[in-house]
């Protein structure tokens, strides 16, 4: 008598290859994914070579973070030592 836990191991069933080697299903899927990515990369490179005037992606500008940092620096014109002394006077401790 066997006890079934209700779970079936669908993803780990070995597949028999012609060379009498067995591979788990996840390795077969990973190999298929790698082959697909290689094929798509080759297609993309061939398309880019055929169309050199195609628009390339532009780099992301990071000026927004610098501007926001400058704005926050302008808002808090109180020096750290002044802020700490105010906190100490109000009875707050670190």
**Residue range 5-48, pLDDT digits in tens:** 555 555 566 555 566 578 899 999 999 999 999 999 999 999 98
Residue 52 to residue 67: CA distance in whole angstroms: 35
pTM check: above 0.75: no
**Residue range 37-92, pLDDT digits in tens:** 999 999 999 998 998 876 667 777 766 566 666 666 666 678 888 988 888 889 88
Range 6-42 burial, b when 16+ CB lie within 10 A, else e: eeeeeeeeeeeeeeeeeeeeeeeeeeeeeeeeeeeee
The pLDDT of residue 46 is 93
The pLDDT of residue 1 is 47
């Amino acid at each position: 008598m066997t006890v079934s836990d209700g779970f079936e191991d669908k993803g780990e069933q070995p597949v028999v290859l012609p060379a009498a080697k067995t591979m788990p299903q996840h390795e077969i899927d990973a190999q298929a994914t790698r082959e697909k990515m290689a094929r798509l990369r080759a297609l993309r490179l061939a398309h880019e070579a055929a169309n050199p005037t195609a628009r390339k992606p532009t780099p992301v500008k990071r000026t927004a973070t610098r501007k926001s940092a400058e704005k926050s620096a302008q808002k808090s014109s109180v020096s750290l030592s002044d802020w700490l002394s105010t906190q100490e006077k109000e009875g707050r401790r670190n």
